[in-house]
Amino acid sequence: MTEGLVFYEISIEEIVKEVEHRIGIPRDWMYSRSRDRRGAYGRSLVGYLARKLSGCLVKDLGKHFRREPMTISQGITKVEDLLRRDEGLARKIGLIERALVGKGRKKYFISNALPY
C-alpha cells in the first residue's frame, strides 16, 4: 500500500548530477562499464535516492546504468546498511534529498482500487 508515501518527478540524471556534485564521484565512473568500486558506490547512491524520492523501479535503474537489476538492488541494500552506521553519510544524503526535492514536483497516483 502506498498510502502516506510521497514521490517526486526527479530524473535519474538529475540524481546523478547531485551525487557527483555533493559526493564527488565523477559521472563517468558511474556510467563506466568497468567494475570499479567507486563507480558502483555512486550507482548505489543514485539507486537508493531514485527509489526513495521518485519511486523508480530497480529494473529501470538497471537499464539506465546497463547493469543487472539484482546488482543495483544489492548496491541499494548496502547503502541502506551504511546509512544506519555512518552519520556523516546520512547527513550528506539528507542534503542531497533536500536539494532534489526542492527541484522536483510531486507525483500523483490515481488508483481504481477501493479502500478496505
CATH code of domain 8-104: 1.10.1750.10
34: amino acid identity, one letter: S
Please state the pTM of the whole predicted model.
0.86
Beta-carbon neighbour count of residue 35 at 10 Å?
8
Please state, in angstroms and as integers, the Cα–Cα distance from residue 47 to each residue in 2, 7, 53, 75, 94, following that order.
19, 14, 10, 8, 15
What residue spans define the domains of the chain?
A: 8-104
Over the stretch 81-96, which tens digit does the pLDDT of each residue have? 999 999 999 999 999 9
21 or 109: which carries more pLDDT confidence? 21
Over the stretch 10-30, which tens digit does the pLDDT of each residue have? 999 999 999 999 999 999 999
